[in-house]
Amino acid sequence: MGRRCWPRRALAAACLGAALLLLGAAPRALSPAFENSLGSGWLGGKRRSPLQMLYDLDQGPPSALAEVHRQRRDLLRRACSRHTRRQRLLGPEDLRHVLVDDAHGLLYCYVPKVACTNWKRVLLALSGRARGDPLAIPAHEAHAPGRLPSLADFSPAEINRRLRAYLAVLFVREPFERLASAYRNKFARPYSAAFQQRYGTRIVRRLRPRAHPDALARGHDVRFAEFLAYLLDPRTRREEPFNEHWERAHALCHPCRLRYDVVGKFETLAEDAAFVLGLVGASGLRFPAPPPRAKGAAARDLAERLFRDISPFYQRRLFDLYRMDFLLFNYSAPSYLRLH
């Protein structure tokens, strides 16, 4: 979706029925007439839409950051073409993770453990649902059901209208660092008792012979190896879908079915968030920084330490499980893995 594709951006939603949503990654058409025909406030001539702003950057004088995002779009498009064949039709519920900001013409697909709490805080501030510094918004308020509209809440026609006209944004993270962060946050912290009660007890009951009654009742001491064995156990996904905290990013956001205009990365979060906020006309809003332990060497060290005691056989199986996230978002296999 580089310079050649922008002028002929056709519909992102190729065919939409009442029950099934067929979403293509075809380019969308951009022109002033197309913009003004949609009739929302930011398309009424007061300012250019975020999608048009991105098009202008792509066509204008060279910009290093705009070029980075153009290359990411192209890499994702090529990876989708190379690694996906038959794809199922999407229904509206498949769009539950795509949040909508109508005031700014923005679609954001959230992936847990990729700064999604802070992105939800920012969306609440952008939409006027919360005031002041986004970081001051409590996490439980940011995650409260119904605080932010999802694309799945709209009619098929309204879904398609937003897919055609809005800037679509996705943020991803190195898959195993995200997985290590999910384990630490949900199974190794005392404040996650409810989560441990739901998932930890299930893991202990299934995978730990002669478990202590306290562990069976509380699920508070799940080991990383047990967590990975639970993910790899075929019964897990037969019983219910993966929890969103360890579901693959491509399964949450469907990047080979939906056209994403910006693919941000946790590793370059500050720059990518500022780029998106600039496109939506909110460059004065400061994106909250994640805690230092969540980024860079600290995140890599955590993942390496956790995977150190996992056998090569299970490392390979887990890499195969998350392979599409590595391929689609251009992440290399971590050097600490023993895959050969």
Return the domain boundaries, the chain. Answer: 50-83+90-174+251-290
Over the range 2-27, which residues count as b (16 or more CB within 10 Å of their CB) and which as e? eeebbeebebbbeebeeeebebbbbb
Torsion sign, CA atoms 194, 131, 273, 48: positive
pLDDT mean over 15-22: 38
Range of weakest confidence among 9-18, 148-157, 207-216, 234-243: 9-18
Is the pLDDT score of 104 beyond 90?
Answer: yes
Position 21 confidence tier, pLDDT thresholds 50, 70, 90: very low
pLDDT of residue 10: 37
Is the pLDDT score of 13 beyond 80?
Answer: no
pLDDT of residue 12: 38
Q: Which of 249, 239, 243, 242 is nearest to 111 (CA)?
A: 249
Is the pLDDT score of 239 beyond 60?
Answer: yes
pLDDT mean over 261-265: 98
Name 106's bridge partners: 101, 167
Is the pLDDT score of 33 beyond 60?
Answer: no
Distance separating alpha carbons of residues 178 and 184, to the nearest angstrom: 10
Distance separating alpha carbons of residues 151 and 214, to the nearest angstrom: 42
Q: Which of 22, 169, 1, 163 is nearest to 78 (CA)?
A: 1
Is the pLDDT score of 5 beyond 70?
Answer: no
227 to 31, 113, 221: CA distances (angstroms):
50, 17, 11
pLDDT of residue 3: 42
- pTM beyond 0.85: the answer is yes
Pairing of strands 167-172, 21-23: unpaired
pLDDT of residue 45: 52
Return the residue matching tokens 């153009």.
Answer: 70
Q: What is the DSSP string of 177-229?
A: HHHHHHHHHHHS-GGGHHHIIIIIHHHHHHH-TT--HHHHHH-----HHHHHH
Name 167's bridge partners: 106
**Average per-residue pLDDT for the chain:** 87
Range of weakest confidence among 43-47, 87-91, 199-203: 43-47
Name 15's bridge partners: 22
pLDDT of residue 124: 95
197 to 221, 229, 234: CA distances (angstroms):
11, 18, 21
Return the residue matching tokens 């990365």.
Answer: 265
162 to 65, 75, 135: CA distances (angstroms):
25, 24, 28
134 within 8 A of 288, measured Cβ to Cβ: yes
Per DSSP, the three-state class of 108 is strand
pLDDT mean over 129-157: 91
Q: Where are the beta strands (DSSP E) in the chain?
A: 13-16, 21-23, 98-101, 106-109, 167-172, 262-265
Name 21's bridge partners: 16, 90
pLDDT of residue 48: 86
pLDDT digits (tens, 9 = 90+) for 296-334: 889 999 999 999 999 999 999 999 999 999 999 999 999
Is the pLDDT score of 36 beyond 50?
Answer: no
